[in-house]
Amino acid sequence: MATTLAFDVYGTLINTHGVVSLLENMVGDNAHAFSTTWREKQLEYSFRRGLMQNYVPFSVCTEQALNYACLLHKVTLSDEQKAQLLARYKTLPAFDDVKAGLESLKAQNYRLFAFSNGAASAVNTLLEAAGISDYFEGVVSADDIKTFKPNPGVYSHFLRQANSTGANTWLISSNPFDVIGALSHGMRAAWIQRSSEAIFDPWELEPTITACNLHDLKTKLASNNQLFSGQAGVK
């Protein structure tokens, strides 16, 4: 059975700070700090909604987090400016390594899926805009079951939709909460450490592998598979 790779989208394949250039025209030198607040609050709101079982689409979390960032940074944006930022969020760029990395992994006969908290329609728009949609066998969204990662039900939903097993599936994500969620559900997981300053949560679980980009991921997956095969042969 071919190994399944479940790729997180926002922050892993797609650069959520791709709005910074537009933000610079609106908030000046504070653009990067504003973008960071926006992203952090977006995730926090999804976590809180999941815990409260008070679901709204991820796009609503994104819009409400934008409003919070405006309040925190004491920035007044017009409705038109907010609409421009939210529109840009629908067509954010992929990281530079992503297209070639996905092509290389696809050539190794991995099954590739996009796996996101975002609605499938939003994810498909992102992937198409980035020119990477053809590499994926499908898109699996937490929106289907009206909750968010890292709820264990989301990982169960992925395995059902992909017709795969935890032991034969890798979660690929730059988000530690996502990696920990997948590991807790019996999947293997690769943490994509997109910044040398990024810290993995010091919990009792650690990533199966850590890679700095998708090219590094391909190499480390191959090494892990060889090790795994060798251990199986020793039994």
What is the structure's pLDDT at 227? Answer: 64
Q: Which contiguous run of DSSP H or E holds residue 211?
A: strand 209-211
Stretches where the chain sits below pLDDT 50 are 232-235
What is the structure's pLDDT at 233? Answer: 47
Beta carbons of 48 and 7 less than 8 angstroms apart: no
Token output for 227: 């090790």
Distance of CA 181 to the CA centre of its chain: 13
Question: Domain spanning 16-89 has what CATH number?
Answer: 1.10.150.240
223 vs 219: CA distance, rounded Å:
6
How far is residue 140 from each of residues 8, 87, 150, 158, 199, measured CA to CA in Å? Answer: 10, 22, 14, 6, 27
Q: Which of 115, 14, 120 is nearest to 57 (CA)?
A: 120
Q: For the chain, which residues make up each domain, given as ranges?
A: 4-14+92-234, 16-89
Beta carbons of 6 and 158 less than 8 angstroms apart: yes
What is the structure's pLDDT at 109? Answer: 94
What is the structure's pLDDT at 232? Answer: 47
CATH superfamily of 4-14+92-234: HAD superfamily/HAD-like (3.40.50.1000)
What is the structure's pLDDT at 231? Answer: 54
pLDDT tens digit sequence for 36-53: 999 999 999 999 999 999
pLDDT tens digit sequence for 83-116: 999 999 999 999 999 999 999 999 999 999 999 9
